[in-house]
Structure 1
Amino acid sequence: MEESEFNEAVDSVFEALELALDEVEEDLDYVAGGGVLTVTFENGTQLVFSRQPPTRQLWLAARSGGFHFCFDEAVDDWRNTRDGQLFRPFVVEQMRAQGGVYFAWQ
């Protein structure tokens, strides 16, 4: 994947995530800028999503650990480098587990 394609893929997932976060009823804040999207929950914890151009990965820092995702063109989603789990369902689970936030993100 070329760097421009990588950046477009990350921008796309950040935009989709922001749209989904806008629909959440629970109280949370998010800020995007400089290749990082930070979600802060009412309980004070954060999820930090960041682009990593040198490795062409999308990283997620959560209370449960740090996770790295590579883009899988076959499914048009990012895949966890540890266990192969897809990014979107993983994020939905992390939002619920860490912040008590429930939302649908397809």
Structure 2
Amino acid sequence: MTDIEYLDRAEALLRAIELACDRINDETAADIDNQRVGGMVTLTFANRSQIIVNLQKPLQEVWMAARAGGFHYKYDGAQWMDSKGQGEFFSHLSRCATEQAGQPLTFSS
């Protein structure tokens, strides 16, 4: 994948996270504060816990830090997959956000 292709796909992922937060805030009582600074989105939950998603441009990866740990994702041609076999990004983000918010939350591309 070229650097431009990576940036296009990674930017689309960050935008999807922002849009999902807006939808979740409209449809639930989760009250997720999301802030984007450059290639990083920080989700802050009502209990003040955070999930941070940031781009690692030199590695062409997306990293996520949550209470459950730190995770690295590479684009496999169809979706962002965990580099250690832990699954697809949005599925994993949904699990981590559900755990941290204390209610079911769904993120998708």
TM-score by length of 2: 0.89
Structure with greater helix percent: 2
Q: Which residue of 2 aligns with 1:96?
A: 98
**Aligned-pair RMSD on alpha carbons?**
1.2
1:6 aligns with 2:10: no
- State the one-letter code of the partner of 1:96: T
- State the one-letter code of the partner of 1:94: C
Q: Which residues of structure 2 form unaligned runs of 5+?
A: none
- State the one-letter code of the partner of 2:101: G
- State the one-letter code of the partner of 1:80: D
Q: Deviations over 1:21-70 (max 9, x none)?
A: 11112111000122100000000110000000111000001111110000
**In 2, distance between residues paired with 1:29 and 1:105?**
15
What is the Cα deviation at residue 80 of structure 1? 0.3
Relative to structure 1, the CA distance from residue 30 to residue 101 in structure 2 (aligned partners, 3 Å threshold; closer, same or farther) is: farther
Relative to structure 1, the CA distance from residue 7 to residue 101 in structure 2 (aligned partners, 3 Å threshold; closer, same or farther) is: farther
Q: Percent identity?
A: 30
The alignment covers a number of residue pairs equal to 104
Q: Which residues of structure 1 form unaligned runs of 5+?
A: none
Q: Deviations over 1:7-30 (max 9, x none)?
A: 111110111111111111211100
Match runs of 1:56-71 below 5 Å = 56-71=60-75
What is the Cα deviation at residue 101 of structure 1? 4.3
Q: Which residue of 1 aligns with 2:38?
A: 34
- State the one-letter code of the partner of 1:58: V
Partner secondary structure for residue 50 of structure 1:
strand
TM-score by length of 1: 0.91
